[in-house]
């Protein structure tokens, strides 16, 4: 069967989760519709890709629940969540499956699914660890998942393991790695690279790029702090503060000035031409100081055929084979980052071989087609079971204490 799926996403901006959903919805074609809780550039990109999309504005209370949020902020958001639940439940009746792409969307979907008698799939793209989220927050989303989700799709083994560690039912979770299309990377020409470097005002020296929204945990400061150990090397910071981390963005400039490296740091802001920018770099660095759930930028650096130096934690370990397809270094350690970068720059032939191995691995292991096929199969299995289970499913789903979830979806 080709089940119809209603995707829910809270964010209107373009982070990794949204870019991945863009590929998914595009891959699923006419059977997919996306409802966003906020308008913004994500809606424009979905529109441009021909994906059916609408905006159902959420209360600020709902959008305020987040990273590190405690029980109090969750409680304050209750009226807003309930309003959103009712509206989503009505809309969901026209679809076979309700699919949440973020935690905030999942809270709404988990409650709307039983009302609409539709199975709920949660695409879990966060590490539910103490490093990232408060205990009350983790307990809430895990209880909702155990009781009300038909399936939890984790974007890495690390994300799946953290879900189970937080009390999530192991039988509910499947890993689907993100897929990323190589086409835009292959299309970049030498002329594009030269033009990009000139437009950015980059000098002739080597360039190390970080491609992430500016946020403390994304660790751009680690590269800035590595620069004094890398004479002549320039840092290209691509991304902007998407979720209110403006103070960190300002701190980065202050830190660069204090270290005397400000003239070697280029802030490019948010950019839609990441493939050309990555190819304008000699090394692509991933500097997150907290474990990354997946790390699209790492796969992208590999697809750009650039040697990648990445922080050794979380989902990134499933992407990079240290020493063969890239380098893994201790997170938050500017000296380790500087050493790895210096070694790659000192041995360009070895760096090229590593980049080529990285590109081949990324192409074969993180294909968009494989991701879409895996997600489509899960959606269809959930839809089939949702139809069979009918009311019995709804009653069973309300077992908020979970169990091992082995009665989730059977294909
Ligand atoms: N990105 C972008 N423009 C920017 C900075 C980042 O399009 O200026 C993209 C980047 O190419 C990647 C995504 O944002 O596809 C970030 O995904 P990742 O998994 O690395 O981190 P997340 O944002 O999900 O935490």
Q: What is the pLDDT of residue 326?
A: 98
Q: Which atom of ligand 1 is nearest to the CA of 218?
A: 25
- Which positions of the chain have pLDDT values less than 70? 61-75, 387-411
230 φ, ψ to 5°?
-125, 75
Written as six digits, the tokens of 9 are 């996403």
Residues in the chain: 411
Place of tokens 């002329």: 191
Ligand 1 centroid from CA 15, angstroms: 5
Q: Say if ligand 1 is within 6 A of residue 270 CB.
A: yes
Give the DSSP H or E segment for 137. helix 135-148
Q: Say if ligand 1 is within 6 A of residue 296 CB.
A: yes
Q: Whose CA is nearest to atom 22 of ligand 1?
A: 16
| Dist CA 305 CA 299 (whole Å) | 10
Q: Say if ligand 1 is within 6 A of residue 297 CB.
A: yes
In this structure, how many other beta carbons lie within 10 angstroms of the beta carbon of residue 262?
Answer: 14
Q: What is the pLDDT of residue 390?
A: 45
| Dist CA 385 CA 163 (whole Å) | 23
Ligand 1 centroid from CA 210, angstroms: 10
Q: What is the pLDDT of residue 74?
A: 61
Ligand 1 centroid from CA 404, angstroms: 34
Q: What is the pTM of this model?
A: 0.92
Report how far apart, in Å, the C-alpha atoms of 32 and of each of 19, 22, 23, 29, 230 are.
Answer: 15, 11, 11, 6, 48
Ligand 1 centroid from CA 183, angstroms: 17
Q: What is the pLDDT of residue 150?
A: 97
Written as six digits, the tokens of 238 are 């691509």
DSSP 216: G
Q: What is the pLDDT of residue 385?
A: 87
Give the DSSP H or E segment for 369. helix 368-397
245 φ, ψ to 5°?
-100, 40
Do residues 255 and 224 lie in contact, with contact meaning Cβ atoms separated by under 8 Å? yes
Q: Please, which contacts does 384-389 make with residues 24 or more away whose CB atoms are closer than 8 Å?
A: 384/1, 384/3, 385/119, 385/150, 385/409, 385/410, 386/96, 386/97, 386/117, 386/118, 386/119, 386/150, 387/96
Q: Whose CA is nearest to atom 3 of ligand 1?
A: 271
Residues whose CB falls within 8 Å of the CB of residue 43, separated by 6 or more in sequence, listed in order = 12, 36, 53, 55
């Amino acid at each position: 069967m080709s089940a119809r799926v209603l995707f829910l996403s809270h964010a209107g901006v373009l982070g990794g989760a949204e870019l991945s959903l863009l590929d998914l919805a595009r891959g699923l074609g006419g059977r997919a519709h996306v409802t966003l809780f906020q308008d913004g550039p994500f809606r424009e990109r979905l529109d441009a890709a021909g994906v059916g999309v609408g905006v159902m504005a959420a209360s600020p209370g709902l959008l305020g629940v987040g990273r590190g949020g405690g029980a109090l902020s969750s409680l304050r958001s209750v009226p807003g969540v309930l309003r959103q639940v009712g509206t989503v439940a009505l809309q969901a009746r026209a679809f076979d499956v309700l699919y949440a792409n973020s935690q905030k969307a999942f809270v709404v979907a988990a409650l709307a699914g039983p009302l609409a008698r539709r199975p709920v799939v949660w695409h879990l793209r966060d590490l539910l660890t103490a490093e990232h989220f408060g205990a009350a927050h983790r307990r809430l989303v895990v209880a909702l998942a155990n009781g009300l989700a038909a399936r939890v799709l984790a974007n890495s083994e690390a994300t799946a393991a953290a879900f189970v560690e937080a009390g999530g039912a192991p039988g509910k979770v499947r890993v689907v790695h993100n897929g990323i299309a190589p086409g835009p990377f292959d299309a970049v020409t030498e002329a594009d690279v030269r033009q990009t470097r000139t437009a950015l005002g980059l000098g002739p020296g080597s360039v190390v790029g970080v491609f992430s929204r500016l946020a403390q945990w994304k660790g751009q400061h680690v590269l800035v702090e590595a620069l004094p150990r890398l004479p002549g090397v320039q840092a290209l910071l691509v991304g902007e503060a998407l979720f209110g981390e403006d103070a960190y963005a300002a701190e980065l400039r202050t830190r660069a000035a204090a270290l005397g490296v400000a003239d070697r740091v280029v802030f490019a802001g948010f950019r839609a031409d990441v493939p050309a920018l990555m190819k304008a770099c000699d090394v692509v660095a991933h500097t997150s100081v907290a474990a990354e759930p997946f790390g699209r930028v790492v796969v992208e650096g590999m697809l750009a055929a650039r040697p990648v130096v990445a922080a050794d934690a979380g989902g990134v370990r499933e992407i990079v084979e240290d020493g063969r397809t890239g380098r893994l270094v201790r997170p938050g350690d500017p000296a380790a980052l500087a050493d790895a970068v210096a070694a790659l720059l000192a041995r360009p032939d070895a760096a090229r071989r590593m980049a080529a191995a990285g590109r081949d691995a990324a192409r074969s292991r993180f294909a968009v087609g494989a991701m879409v096929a895996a997600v489509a199969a899960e959606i269809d299995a959930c839809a089939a079971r949702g139809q069979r289970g009918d009311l019995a499913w709804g009653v069973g789903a309300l077992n908020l204490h979970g169990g091992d979830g082995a009665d989730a979806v059977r294909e």
